Each structure stands twice: as structure tokens, then as C-alpha cells.
């Protein structure tokens, strides 16, 4: 093991730094820029990932899937009609909206609360607990609003089409 004076430190880029040199943390604006660039790269990779659907069709990317799903005479209307038909056959209950897996409700709400707290701590969610408003879009039966958003925000609303 080399003595501490002979070891090389690494900087933010991973490059070796001379002994005695201290790596500085990037400035807040630079850190935000790096964070935005990383999110952009992740989004681009996610769009480029291929896969398949429940009918066994294969797609090169997310865009290719949506192009196929929304084309033709039915297009967007057909897509939403399938969803509407499915949900009309489900109970308006936690078990119904979770496809028979009501036991996942508690862990889902718990981990979602944890996620909100992580956003607060990182500074990405600037509203303090007990302040602000929340809007649950696609609220369904209000499972998320009742279990997740009602307590940490002073006002809330639901939207379901």
C-alpha cells in the first residue's frame, strides 16, 4: 500500500489529480446543468430501447410502438376505446384499480411518500410539507390523493376524464 502522499486522488471527471490537490464540488448551476443533461440522456436512451407489446409485436423504439398503435382508421380513438373498455370492467376499488393486487397499495404509497421526501431533500420539490397545492391528474378513484397527497399539501385536487 503506497503512503498517503503517493496516492492520487480523482476529480469529478475521474481523472487523476496530483497529491495535495482537492477536488472542488461543481457550482450549483453547473450541477443543475449536469443533472439536466443526464436526464436528457436517460430520456433519449429510453426512447431508443426496443421491446414488445402484449400481442407479441416487436418494436425498435417507443416511437415505433406509438406510430403503430395510433395509425389506421381507429388510431387514437381505438387506443382510448380499449382502455375505456378495460376500466369499465373493473371494480371502482383499490383491488380493482390494482388489477387484483390490493396488497401492493400500502408499499406503493409508502415508497411514493419516500420519493416525495427525497425530492424535498434534494431541492427538486421546493414546497414545504403542509404548504402548497397538489393536483392528481388521472386520479381514478383517488387512491393516490387520499393516501399520498392529502396530508403533505394544504390543498389538493383531482382530475379524471
Mean pLDDT of the chain: 78
How sure is the predictor about 10, in pLDDT bands with cuts at 50, 70 and 90? very low
pLDDT(122) > 90? yes
User: Residue 38 CB: number of other CB atoms within 10 A?
Assistant: 10
- With 0-12 / 13-18 / 19 or more C-beta atoms within 10 angstroms meaning exposed / middle / buried, residue 96 is middle
The three cell numbers locating residue 55? 400481442
Q: Going by C-beta distance under 8 Å and a sequence separation of 6 or more, which residues neighbour residue 143? A: 94, 97, 105
As a whole number of angstroms, the distance between CA 161 and CA 139 comes to 9
pLDDT(115) > 80? yes
Model confidence, pTM: 0.55
Which of 117, 56, 63, 54 is CA-nearest to residue 82? 54
Amino acid at each position: 500500500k503506497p503512503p498517503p502522499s503517493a496516492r492520487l486522488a480523482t476529480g469529478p471527471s475521474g481523472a487523476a489529480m496530483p497529491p495535495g490537490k482537492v477536488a472542488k464540488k461543481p457550482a450549483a448551476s453547473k450541477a443543475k446543468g449536469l443533472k439536466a443533461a443526464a436526464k436528457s440522456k436517460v430520456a433519449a436512451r429510453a426512447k431508443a430501447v426496443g421491446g414488445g407489446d402484449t400481442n407479441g409485436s416487436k418494436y425498435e423504439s417507443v416511437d415505433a410502438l406509438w406510430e403503430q398503435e395510433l395509425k389506421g382508421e381507429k388510431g387514437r380513438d381505438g387506443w382510448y376505446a380499449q382502455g375505456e373498455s378495460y376500466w369499465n370492467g373493473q371494480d371502482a376499488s383499490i383491488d380493482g384499480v390494482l388489477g387484483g393486487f390490493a396488497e401492493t397499495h400500502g408499499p406503493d404509497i409508502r415508497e411514493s411518500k419516500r420519493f416525495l421526501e427525497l425530492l424535498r431533500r434534494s431541492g427538486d420539490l421546493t414546497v414545504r410539507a403542509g404548504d402548497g397545492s397538489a393536483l392528481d391528474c388521472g386520479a381514478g378513484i383517488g387512491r393516490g390523493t387520499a393516501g399520498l397527497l392529502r396530508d403533505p399539501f394544504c390543498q389538493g385536487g383531482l382530475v379524471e376524464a
